[in-house]
Amino acid sequence: MLPELNDYSAMRRAFRWQIPARFNIGTAVCTRWAQCDPQRTAIVSKTRPGGTQHVSFDQLERLSNQFANTLAAHGVRRGDRVALLLPQSVETPAAHIAIYKLGAVAVPLATLFGPDALEYRLNNSDAVGLIMTTDSTGKLAGIRDRLTSLRFIFATDGAGPGILDLQHEAKKASDRFTAEDTAPDDPAMMIYTSGTTGPPKGALHGHKVLLGHIPGIQFGYEFLPKPDDFMWTPSDWAWAGGLLNVLLPSLYFGLPVLAYRFDKFDPEFAWTLLAETGVRNVFIPPTALKMMRAAAGNDFTKGLKLRSIVSGGEAVGRQLQEWSKDRLGVRVNEIYGQTECNLVLQSCAAIGIWRPGAIGKPTPGHEVAVIDKDGNAVAPGTAGTIAIRRPDPVMFIGYWKNEQATRDKFVGDWLLTGDQGIVDDDGYFSFFGRDDDVITSSGFRIGPTEIEDCLISHPAVKLAAVIGKPDELRTEIIKAFIVLNEGYSAGDQLAADISAYVKTRLSAHEYPREIAFEDTLPLTTTGKVIRRLLRERS
């Protein structure tokens, strides 16, 4: 737990990790609350229109125990991988908790995945079982025979050919279960990287990963928990951002989490959802927040009770930060991390650690630096690779079945993020771009983030992504892919106006020489732009 101090330096000096000899995520986020405060609300599940269900920690404990007994009856043992293909729902945390109590390994999968993505991850993880909803039945139809390790499939909302009804089976099971006695380093979950730079890799984490997130959660959400804190994210709970930035830490603190299933993210309804439910704390990725900004009406703040806003996964940018401060009265605390090592840099406006255009400073308990290729810290203002020193309780155990990739992730004791960054004289870190996203043009190394930030400040631009396009004269030129706001039409004149807008606000070498207008941008399931696909297209 963070000491609640107003001085960042004093907080860093005072913080100490306290990792117990035995720890299990399942008992930490559910069992202890069910025992000491059983009627405390764990999940608020909302459906559209109008339906709301409040689930207590006692109810969640009993359901997770029934799930654990059911999985055990179907042969799940300690160390087995069990995949979850579930939307935001009560059954999702119950299934996670059941798997952790069994000492098995949860493999969360995004509901947006298609058959090829599912086949790769299910086979690569050697998953023995899959828990899903019947909505995904069609995705499995053509690949089921190729899932060599899969022994059973459960659906939380019914049965089908080769699919068992988990709720029906669970009702036959006991609602008592004794969790496995696990150590902090015992495997608990495997989250696949988003695959922006190659085939997805399974990042294996131990039970201590939850404890490793706690100081970051408290820092970014401005000393969570506070009275009436209530958490929500539109992010899929299969992503580290949804699972480890919101769901599991909230339950660890005994806070309610809002569950709402978007079939497709509706930014206008997101404002309604926040106002109707009284959510106090949110994690909203930058792309979703930009969409919400574009959809905001004149009275969109009516009824809002927001206390803290956290955003990350890609650069938030100065424009979005300033808008939130001015229109919402709440500063966006940017966070930074990776599936392999999350929440290591961030802002905390409550104690003055906040600067427009910057991520923030190292979270207490983590040592972060910008280093060169030899592992040496570079001077302030010099671009290099953002790296985190091991050991660190939030850091992954390694990549599943890929020892070489695990070794390649480190230089000495520094974990290489693959992200280019800069730290200034005051210790603030800024994101420059991924190693493979940095653009080399006319001798300049240019990060896409600042250009994209400038582009979305143009009134016509809703979303933007920037890449380097090969060019014989300049090595690369800057090319922008743009989604327009309503009321604007694509054309040469608008493209010229947007290019000039960037040229006059940034630099003569940082404006897009080519602009392509698009209906949508290719995004990972975590909401990051897949620039690799845009580069291939160009």
pLDDT of residue 264: 84
pLDDT of residue 315: 77
pLDDT of residue 407: 96
Q: How far apart are CA 169 and CA 97, in angstroms?
A: 17
pLDDT of residue 493: 96
Q: Where are the alpha helices (DSSP H) in 15-156?
A: 25-26, 32-36, 57-73, 91-102, 115-124, 137-141
Phi, psi at 488, each rounded to 5°: -120, 140
Segment 232-259, tens digit of pLDDT: 999 999 999 999 999 999 999 999 999 9
pLDDT of residue 410: 97
Residue 535 near residue 470, CB atoms below 8 Å:
no
Q: How far apart are CA 174 and CA 354, in angstroms?
A: 50
Phi, psi at 501, each rounded to 5°: -60, -45
pLDDT of residue 12: 96
pLDDT of residue 445: 61
Residue 182 near residue 103, CB atoms below 8 Å:
yes
Residue partners of 71: CB distance under 8 A and separation at least 6: 82, 98, 99, 102, 104, 129
And the tokens for 406?
Answer: 């695990």
Domains of the chain in sequence order: 24-206 (3.40.50.12780), 437-537 (3.30.300.30)
Residue 522 near residue 529, CB atoms below 8 Å:
yes
DSSP single-letter state for residue 427: S
- CA 315 from centroid of its chain's CA atoms: 13
Residue 258 near residue 233, CB atoms below 8 Å:
no
pLDDT of residue 476: 83
Q: For residue 356, what are the CA distances in angstroms to 228, 317, 360, 529?
A: 29, 7, 9, 22
Mean pLDDT in each 10-residue stretch from start to end of the chain (538 residues)?
A: 92 96 98 98 89 96 98 98 97 98 97 86 97 95 94 96 96 98 98 69 97 97 97 94 97 98 90 96 91 88 96 84 93 94 97 94 98 96 96 97 95 94 96 74 71 90 92 83 95 96 82 95 78 86
Give the orientation angle of helix 286-295 with respect to helix 267-277, to 10 degrees: 90
pLDDT of residue 198: 54
